Structure 1
Amino acid sequence: MDLVALMLADSRFPGGGHVHSGGLEEAAARRLVVDEASLRSFLVGRLRTAGALAAVFAAVAAAQDGYAELDAELDARTPSPAQRAASRTQGRGVARAATRAWPSARLEGLLRATPRPHHPIVVGVLVADPFEAAQTVAYHAVTGPATGAIRLLGLDPFGVNAVLAGLAPEIDAVAGHARDHAGTPPADLPAPSAPGLDLLAEAHDRHHAEEVRLFAS
């Protein structure tokens, strides 16, 4: 794994990902996640749906240059306005940091095509290798909620990290499937859905406007 991918996967990278729980805050508030077992189920579900979708678009962004079309196709596959906003907020945060760390013609081209790009597309442009780009965003799909579980539920950090470690084969499988689509036209990319996550995101967005919440999503 190259240094760019490692830095983007690091929670200390100043891209703003630490304020997003990937729906975990709302799930915890509804008692859908209460312990390590239910956390694992939540993470697997998120990885196989929202994570798989993000991984495919990261892989394609690493291999292709049609950024405006790619961004529009990911928008169309993200029916929740709250989910779209969270992805674009994180994408813009990563892009801002990346313009200082890794300025390039590809990044400039992306930001000309779409000034507030989706997070997976920025990652794909920066990492360039389809598998590693997909692996990075698949990893992000589970680490945000996992960190949220520690902060919101007080779960044992060692146990939560053991859950994450156990997901390594699943993450690599998602990344491998995404890499297989690196040459697929954007309009023909798969669209795994996650209605439950969409509903949690919309509920969290509504509650976030009504009361103080720890995470933005």
Structure 2
Amino acid sequence: MPITNYNVKASRYQEDRFLPRGMKEMTVAKKDYSALANLLVSDINGPEVEAFKNKNRDVKLTMDADLQTSIQQSIASDTSLYDNRVSVVIMESNTGDVLTSAQYPLPPVHNWDQLTMPLADQNKLATWLTTTDLGFTYASQPGSTAKVLTAMSAFNKLGIAASAIQYHVSTQERIRTKGIEPDENRDDHHGARHCQIKQRIFY
């Protein structure tokens, strides 16, 4: 069923009757039962419920089980990721079919309290906790992966001649020069050059 989450702030929250009231941030889930409304008001032994039970509800997944398992085991065994939360999504470019959606750490399916823990409480934990598929429930900035898109756009429009185009980027135009990524600290303005190509193509 469709579920919509809302981050709300209670102004007079009281955990129990012995504690004072105060402010508390929480996540409230709204579940849409409209698809089941007719069944809920009908006879449990009636024809509507019986027809629903006999309905073909087969689901065909596009997931590649071998690829999913391989990537899941790979990120789970990488000790450098133990203090991180990781998501890997692989899609078929021409159809949009999802082939893999792996993540670390996996949801605690055997711990109901953790599995149903609100996001605000998850953020207070000392370690990462995932309760949903990160690849489909969290919006993440693409970061430097967008450089591949802008570079390909340049070659699509200009052909091989795009590789010879260079733009001078002054020191004042550079951003994030103190980051940990190597391309942010070099003097060749590699990242900024892609931004200039993007402006020429799309604007």
TM-score relative to the length of structure 2: 0.24
- Whichever structure has more helix as a proportion of its residues is 1
Larger-Rg structure: 2
TM-score relative to the length of structure 1: 0.23
